[in-house]
Structure 1
């Protein structure tokens, strides 16, 4: 149920209420949510490998193909996604300091993770219909940065101590 709430609120971003509802969700749920989202993104590639008629994947048994896919596609993809989310959150930390907003890296990481929902779902749907290069996922980095800037503006300014 909480994963469904996380999905529904992440679709509503950068709505102020959605931001604060997502902020209350624990980091463990966020990591599970991102793992499921990356699994969703990898479905088109898995389908492509399962339906291949030539090459190494056509000669493998189903179990070996799934293990191979998990080790050599899903794990590197999820590592890359987590590193990019960390990069976006780090950039967001710098932007929040420039804007003098009261928001920290863990919150920005969590919000960055949730901003990837719409781009990842769109990529999955389009990739199931058309042949799409994985490099198009880099374009979604720009949309995440845009959403992070919008989210940072929701948080209050830092009080200047005298």
Structure 2
């Protein structure tokens, strides 16, 4: 059983539909505007970055997109890519942030080398703590269903928006911040 720290309630879903940055349909244009490191949340985004020859420093995938299994092409691009120095399997139920996901994400972002976090469950909400953890100027890239890839540039304003959303979720926000090493 997963150790759940926060859980998304239905009334917050609409807030998450507003992108944290510009939406791109062209990977090369996104990469031209991205800062380092690049953190990818989602299979399709990770696939596009690998395919463009610019794999992310940290990638989090769950073999699903928009509640369905990813295509074999996307799955094969990710599983066939041998550029991740660390591959770690973690559990995170849908609509939640587990202690395991938060700890693994922190270790991946603070560590050296490249990391693939393979989630049993769902990785969608990981964008929020990724923005809190990433250094200023970093890029957190995630998919916007039916639109493209969102480039969230990490700065004080984006962090504050993510922190506000996280604080409205059900659970223990203080524990989340402790697990992330944030005061």
TM-score normalised by L of structure 1: 0.27
Q: Select the structure that is richer in helix.
A: 1
Q: Select the structure that is richer in strand.
A: 2
Larger C-alpha radius of gyration, 1 or 2? 1
TM-score normalised by L of structure 2: 0.25
